[in-house]
Chains A and B, each alone.
Chain A
Amino acid sequence: MALMSSATDQVVLLVERIQAGTDYERSCRELYHQFRRRIVSFFAVRGFSSDECAELTQETFIRVFLGIGRLHDASRFATWLFEIATNVYRNELRHRGAAKRDAFEESIEDLAEDQAAGRPDAIAALGSNAPSPLDETLHRERLESLRAKLKLLPPQMRRCVFLRLYQDLKYREIAALLRISIETVKAHLHQAQKRLMVDFPDRPDGEET
């Protein structure tokens, strides 16, 4: 704890030095090296290549050093840096087209459309598991039924369902995201399972019991 406080104090000191113009270049350099890995990781976990990460990291720090005079509370530097990195990330997505990067979220319906258009990748992805007309009809019915049941769930319970089943998050992640306890998450999902009358997939992730 004392170590963390000391490190944070050092960051505050560096930010204040940069803002005051005292030992400017050296302070910028030190701050950059303290946070560089964190920013590279920020972009790396979002699917960017190492070259792209390097480029986006540079872009982030240039914005940081150009705008650091506007940071009023030096102790909030890390949060402010995160906000800038997020803006750089979103700008990059906008430039490249979010659809490309979100390819992993492409729905089966989209793949089916691709297949109809004769795109070989989509056909390979689907293999021989393309839904039959009967499957499609059943799916549509289930969709409508689920939609109606979801509407009846309390908002927080419905969000837990989406986060668990759609986003595949762990209980503790859902709890952190919605700022509720893990027990509340479990209770919500248990209730939702009964109300939706479906079996939730049981994903062993080492923590859920």
Chain B
Amino acid sequence: MNDDSDGVVRSLRELASEARQRQGTGAHPSPETLTSYHRGELTPAAEDDVQEHLAVCRHCARLVLDLPAFQEAPDPADPGLGGLDAEAEASWQTIRARLPGPSTPAGRHRDASSARRFAWLQPFTPLAAAAVLAGATVVAVPLWIIARQLTSPELPPETLELSTPEGQRGPGEAPAAPAIVHAQAASTTLLLRLTRPQPDLRFRIELLAGNAAGGSGAAGAPAGHTLPLPAVKVVDSRTLVLVLARRQLAPGRYQLRVLDAQQPAADPLGDYQLAVVEP
């Protein structure tokens, strides 16, 4: 090799190093990409990227060049189980010790073992499936109805429109006649008219079993007990839509209050009485 060639090689080494820096020195195509490249399964653009990398990366170039020999069928001259050397066998034993036990190997084998272990449950499988389906229906259907009603631009025709009567703002006031909610309805949509606008649209909703005036409590719930918040949608600063699922309301009397989230101690924005009744 003459001096000129030495200089070219030296310069190429630097240029290759620069190219690797541009690609990111730690960035290599994944092994899967390299094997796909070797099989000719990449898009032209991806293939171009891989070739650009291979030109300047000895590691990946060597991997691709080694792949064909690696993929060849095992050499029949390789020692079979009858001709193992001690080192290979010792190494296997080390691997074996680090693997899960024979009853719980990885992947499909583990699945197969699990299937055998729970084989006695097979006769009950249809029953269990039916129970799961029924449970999912009980929970999912009301939730679906609520979500549908909240996202629907139109309110359902059976919507109850509630507003706080003038003069009944204080907690000591006598309650107005409650709105009737049928306990068997899958859900009940309430349109709540507030007594005053709430510009920042931040509300706190309270649903209490029983009413503040000491009315009859809901079955199984102590008077004044706060129930989980129902789903609510803000229409504007004076109007809310609230959907009650059947499972939220046992028959009985309830007090529904809408408060300013910033000033919950102030007069409520809405104060409504509900009576959940059996049809």
A residues lining the B interface (CB < 8 Å): 3-5, 7-8, 10-11, 18-21, 24-25, 28-30, 32-38, 42, 45-46, 54, 57-58, 61-62, 65-70, 78-79, 81-84, 86-87, 90, 93-94, 98, 105, 107-109, 138-139, 142-143, 146-147, 150, 155-156, 158-159, 161-163, 165-167, 169, 173, 176-179, 196, 198-201, 203
Contact = CB atoms under 8 A, between A and B. Distances in A.
B81 A29 contact: yes
Contact of A69 (B62, B72, B102, B109): B109
Nearest to A88: B31
Given A36-B88, A107-B17, A158-B55, 14 more contacts: A7-B73, A20-B112, A21-B108, A21-B112, A58-B98, A66-B106, A69-B109, A83-B35, A107-B13, A146-B15, A147-B15, A155-B48, A198-B5, A201-B9
Contacts of A201: 1-2, 5, 9
A65 B99 contact: yes
A146 B12 contact: yes
A82 B67 contact: yes
A35 B92 CA distance: 12
Chain B CB count within 10 A is highest, among A35, A158, A165, for A165
Given A20-B108, A32-B92, A161-B12, A78 B1 contact: no
Given A21-B109, A33-B81, A67-B107, A177 B61 contact: yes
Interface string B75-96: 1101111001001100110111
A166 B56 contact: yes
B99 A62 contact: yes
Contact of B109 (A20, A86, A155, A198): A20
Contacts of A28: 96, 99, 105
Contacts of A18: 105, 109
Give the bracket for the number of chain B residues in contact with chain A. Answer: 35 or more
Contact of B4 (A8, A57, A198): A198
B14 interface: yes
Nearest to A176: B65
Interface in B220-246: none
B22 interface: no
Nearest to B15: A147
A93 B110 CA distance: 32
7 contacts: A3-B73, A34-B78, A62-B98, A93-B59, A139-B11, A142-B7, A163-B55
B109 A62 contact: no
Grouping DSSP codes into helix (H, G, I), strand (E, B) and loop, the A interface class, with mixed when no group exceeds half, is helix
A129 to B, nearest CB: 11
B111 interface: yes
Interface of B: 1-2, 4-5, 7-17, 25-26, 28, 31-32, 34-35, 40, 48, 51-52, 54-56, 58-59, 61-68, 70-76, 78-81, 84, 87-88, 91-92, 94-96, 98-100, 102, 105-113
B81 A165 contact: no
B92 A29 contact: yes
Nearest to A21: B109
A58 B10 contact: no
B70 A42 contact: yes
